Amino acid sequence: MANRTIAPKIIDPVEFDLHLKPYEKKTLDNGIEVYAIDAGAEEVLQIEWVFFAGNWYEQQNMIAATTNFLLKNGTASKTAFQISEHFEYYGAYLNRGCYNETSTITLHCLNKHIEELLPVVQELITDATFPEDELKLYKQNNKQRLSVNLKKCDFVANRHIDEYLFGIDHPYGKYSSAEAYDAVERDQLKAFYDQFYRHGKCILFVAGKIPANLFAQLNKYFGSLPLNNKTLPEGAHPIVQSSNIGSPIRLSNDPEGVQGAVRIARPFPNRHHPDFLNVQVLNTLFGGFFGSRLMNNIREDKGYTYGIHSYLQNHIHSSAWMITTEAGKDVCDATVKEVYKEMKKLREKLVDDEELLLVKNFMMGSILGDLDGPFHIIGRWKNIILNDLDESYFYNSIRAIKSITPAELQELANKYLQPKEYYELVVV
């Protein structure tokens, strides 16, 4: 009979020796770098074309996002409908996404259809036409969607907190508006497309059970395009932080609202900073997983919220440390107070060994699980490569988890968890 009062023996995951499967790298005739992870049992592929065409490079708000969105809404030989139908006929998913520095086209498909799909992706990169009526419809529907989102306190809070951290003109701080949509002109899209896609800088990330001829296929369709010839414009974007740091900001968005969106955030350096990896451990302990201090106190003890999280923003140039939750309208202030209490505890009291071991084991188990499968592995590599890091970043992050001490955590808490250095926003 099992003794249920004693936990079964475990191997502490902190002792694991974790490895990041190396990528295979090839270069197309025109210099496009292709990073590939060949793994997995299913006959499926994920191919991602990453362009340096994020909002970092636009001259006017919404140009990068609109260009990216309309890539698949018409080419010289196909309508938006025909393009969608082509990918859908082969059961493929063609997505695009616009971020700050980069924008992407992502294809997920069964291996057996790849040769029907690549030529059309090529067409999107060489021959998109940005039809006027597609742009008009895009503006109308996005303005409508925006009007719905602006009713949500979390959406509004996310916009404001980024603005405080980076400034309304910075790529990380600016946001959409009806006026910004209205101001977008077709010629601007065509010019942006020509510079940042057709003649832009592109990197390819491939993962799945990779067919032997894939590289030849990629070279055939993308290896002779006029990409990667020109240097990218520098794009100087000074950060302009708002002056209301350290004092409570309360905004009213919906008089009938029953919850408030709480955002507490401070500027934080990027991944190249020597504290970044250690702070990832401190963040996990503080608010980065279900067993964190914030979750245990504010959800599991007080019941103020369905969930509370903290994280370091995923930016290349400069990050921010963010605490977010939606809490009952009456308990928002109490929630903020508890967040600061948890900061204080971390500053003043050493984390005990038992709790630290739990956090370390959890992080290691979580990374082990996340290294499972080709799409996850290429995702890690993409992050490393786009942030101009190398594999030592991965191994250093493992080392940070394994070796960090309670004293180091306390030191970091004193350095970074000071309420007066945080923006504190509640939107109801």
Partner 1 sequence: MIQFDRFSLANGLRVLVHEDHSTPMAVVNVLYDVGAKDESESKTGFAHLFEHLMFGGSVNVPSYDDPLQLAGGENNAFTTNDLTNYYCQLPAQNIETAFWLESDRMLSLAFSKKSLEVQRKVVCEEFKEHYINKPYGDVWFKMRELAYKVHPYKWQTIGKELSHIENAKIEDVKNFFFKHYRPSNAILVVAGDITTAQVKELAEKWFGDIPAGEKYERNLPQEPKQMEPRRLEVKANVPLDAFYKCWHVGSRLDSTYYAMDLITEILGGGGSSRLYQALVKEKKLFSNIDCYHFGSTDAGLLAIEGKLVKGVKLQDAEKAVEEELTKIKNEKVSESELEKVKNKTESAIAFEDMSVMNRASSIAMYELLGDAQLMNTELSKYQEVTISDIQKLSNEIFDENNSNTLYYYAN
Segment 214 to 243, residues that bind partner 1, using CB under 8 A: none
Rg (CA), the chain: 24
Among 366, 383, 396, 418, binds partner 1 (CB under 8 A): 366
> Does position 252 bind partner 1 by CB under 8 A?
no
- For 407, the token pair is 């004293």
Among 27, 59, 77, 144, binds partner 1 (CB under 8 A): 144
> Does position 251 bind partner 1 by CB under 8 A?
no
Site for partner 1 in 280-319 (CB under 8 A): 289-291, 299-306
Task: Select from 235, 220, 229 the least CA-distant residue to 202.
Answer: 229
> Does position 269 bind partner 1 by CB under 8 A?
no
Judged by beta carbon, residue 136 or residue 273, the one nearer partner 1 is 136
Site for partner 1 in 58-77 (CB under 8 A): 72
Mark the segment that binds partner 1 (CB under 8 A) among 56-64, 145-153, 160-168, 220-228.
145-153
> Does position 212 bind partner 1 by CB under 8 A?
no
Note every long-range contact of 328-332, with CB atoms under 8 Å and residues 24 or more positions apart, other chains counting.
328/258, 328/259, 328/260, 328/304, 329/257, 329/258, 329/259, 329/260, 329/428, 331/302, 331/304, 331/305, 332/260, 332/262, 332/426, 332/428
CB of 136 to partner 1, least distance (A): 9
> Does position 163 bind partner 1 by CB under 8 A?
no
> Does position 91 bind partner 1 by CB under 8 A?
yes
Q: Are 87 and 120 in contact (CB under 8 A)?
A: yes
Among 31, 89, 182, 405, binds partner 1 (CB under 8 A): 89
Note every long-range contact of 177-180, with CB atoms under 8 Å and residues 24 or more positions apart, other chains counting.
177/61, 177/146, 178/143, 178/146, 178/147, 180/60, 180/61, 180/62
- d(CA 121, CA 49) in angstroms, rounded, equals 10
Give the strand order in the sheet containing 33-38. Answer: 24-27, 33-38, 202-208, 44-51, 103-110, 93-98
Site string for partner 1, 40-59 (x = CB under 8 A): xxxxx---------------
Site for partner 1 in 121-140 (CB under 8 A): 137, 140
> Does position 182 bind partner 1 by CB under 8 A?
no
Task: Select from 40, 37, 44 the least CA-distant residue to 91.
Answer: 44
Judged by beta carbon, residue 76 or residue 148, the one nearer partner 1 is 148
> Does position 345 bind partner 1 by CB under 8 A?
no
CB of 209 to partner 1, least distance (A): 10
Site for partner 1 in 315-334 (CB under 8 A): 326-328
CB of 175 to partner 1, least distance (A): 18
Mark the segment that binds partner 1 (CB under 8 A) among 22-30, 243-251, 352-360, 408-416.
352-360
CB of 8 to partner 1, least distance (A): 4
Q: Are 56 and 235 in contact (CB under 8 A)?
A: yes
Q: How far lies 103's CA from each of 36, 47, 56, 67, 177, in Å?
A: 19, 14, 10, 10, 20
Cα three-residue angle 102-272-105, rounded to 5 degrees: 15
Mark the segment that binds partner 1 (CB under 8 A) among 160-168, 216-224, 345-353, 366-374.
366-374
